[in-house]
Amino acid sequence: MVPRRLWPEGADPEYVAARDALLKEEQELLAHAERVAEARRALPPGPVLPRYTFAEGPRDLSADGPVTATAMDELFGGHDTLVLYHLMYAPDAEAACPMCSMWVDGFHGVSHHLARHTGFAVVAKAPLPRLRAWGRRRGWDGLHLLSSHDSTFNRDMGTENADGAQHPGISVYDRADGAGGVRHRYTMQASVSDELPERGIDPLSPVWQVLDLLPGGRGSWYAANDYAGARRG
């Protein structure tokens, strides 16, 4: 459907011409995004993974226990696919990455929609008590918060360096067979381009999309953990 009009009554011809030219660029961008999504879906099947288990507490973050060992295949929630967000939170860090926390804030807000289509969880290398305390601070009730502290999962998935440095990213998995097998389908990390560092998963956060609409763009702004609204409770 062609947009009816994207400017108010009385806009001068110079603005109308410029906006019309921009619209063509935006339409091309959307068409390219559709081609990329189609190519992503057409990726050949990835490897079947070992049966990773994670430490997990109750979905109610106000309770500290019991702690259970949750296997990856138990996170699908009745679906055939699973999405994991790799939260950048090292075992000895005092706080999780502020940018990662912003992303998970967004995922938490739409988690009830995602649950209609796929399993979803957040995994971090931080010990479970520290991860759950951060989840309470952010208000992430209802999310699967998983600690991979005692497993090689992060290293195996490429979200941890040999020196223990953690990297944010998102991965998609599907069921490999009827016996609990999990197959890797797709991973994208935040930094995959030297020209545009830390923008690899920006399309998954509404914050960046709205800032890019503003006359000043996103500028050099970076999320923080301490400004109003970033803390809940």
In a domain? residue 176: yes
Q: How far apart are CA 52 and CA 126, in angstroms?
A: 16
Q: How far apart are CA 169 and CA 194, in angstroms?
A: 16
CATH number at residue 111: 3.40.30.10
In a domain? residue 154: yes
Burial degree of 151 (CB within 10 A; 0-12, 13-18, 19+): middle
According to the model, what pLDDT value does residue 233 have? 44
Count of domains for the chain: 1
Burial degree of 95 (CB within 10 A; 0-12, 13-18, 19+): middle
The reported pTM is 0.92
Two tokens at 103? 């992303």
In a domain? residue 106: yes
Q: Which residue ranges in the chain fall short of pLDDT 70?
A: 1-3, 179, 228-233
In a domain? residue 180: yes
Q: How far apart are CA 177 and CA 196, in angstroms?
A: 38
Q: How far apart are CA 84 and CA 72, in angstroms?
A: 10
Q: The domain containing residue 112 runs over which residues? A: 48-189
In a domain? residue 222: no
- Beta carbons within 10 angstroms of residue 55's beta carbon: 20
In a domain? residue 113: yes
In a domain? residue 102: yes
Are the beta carbons of 173 and 74 closer than 8 angstroms?
no
Q: How far apart are CA 167 and CA 189, in angstroms?
A: 7
Task: Give tens-digit pLDDT for 83-141.
Answer: 999 999 999 999 999 999 999 999 999 999 999 999 999 999 999 999 999 999 999 99
